[in-house]
């Protein structure tokens, strides 16, 4: 039985260089797209989001997601507060547009219903009185409720939808400690 051997085509060095440049361009373009729309990096300063995030953690945010869907309760977001347009904050959304928020006797109430929490909130701040959120406003709290400047403070207040930069989706504490944020 005889086998026919096909001719092997020689690949020109020019083709190899062009293919390499095209591949490199695609990778660079993808990296720029991810950096601009999906993967902006922020550094967490302070302890207001402990134990979820801690001081000096690096987080990546998804800036594209909220162009297609609305922020949800329990999302951790990066935003600009109304009082300081230069400092970014990282907090958790606890109340959505149109809802009412109040803190009484250390307990968070949403729409009049007490929310289960293992930690009593010591500082009610402006939420001592019932707050009704506008159609484009969110109420945010730090996970470390008693060590957080958040929507209870006049300096932060209700967070406007237009001030939300994106949703935190990845935490990097060290190269050995990288985790998704749900």
User: Catalytic residue positions?
Assistant: 48, 91
Question: What is the DSSP secondary structure assignment for residue 16, as one 8-state letter?
Answer: H
Cβ–Cβ under 8 Å, residues 48 and 156: no
List of residues 6+ apart from 151 with CB closer than 8 A? 91, 101, 126, 127, 138, 139, 140, 141, 157, 158, 159
Rg (CA), the chain: 24
Give CA–CA dist 93/76, Å, rounded.
6
């Amino acid at each position: 039985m005889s086998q026919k051997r096909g001719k092997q085509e020689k690949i020109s060095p020019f083709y190899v260089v062009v293919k390499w440049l095209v591949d490199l361009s695609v990778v660079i373009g993808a990296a720029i797209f991810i950096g601009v729309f999906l993967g902006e990096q922020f550094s967490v300063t302070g302890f207001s989001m402990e134990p979820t995030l801690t001081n000096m953690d690096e987080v990546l945010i998804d800036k594209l997601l909220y162009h297609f869907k609305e922020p949800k309760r329990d999302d951790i977001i990066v935003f600009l507060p109304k009082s300081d347009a230069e400092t970014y904050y990282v907090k958790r959304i606890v109340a959505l547009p149109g809802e009412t928020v109040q803190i009484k006797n250390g307990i968070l109430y949403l729409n009049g219903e007490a929310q289960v929490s293992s930690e009593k909130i010591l500082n009610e701040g402006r939420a001592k009185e019932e707050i009704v959120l506008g159609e484009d406003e969110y109420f945010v709290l730090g996970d470390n409720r008693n060590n957080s400047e958040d929507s209870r403070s006049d300096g932060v207040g209700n967070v406007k939808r237009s001030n939300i930069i994106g949703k935190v989706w990845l935490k990097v504490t060290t190269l050995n400690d990288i985790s998704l944020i749900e």
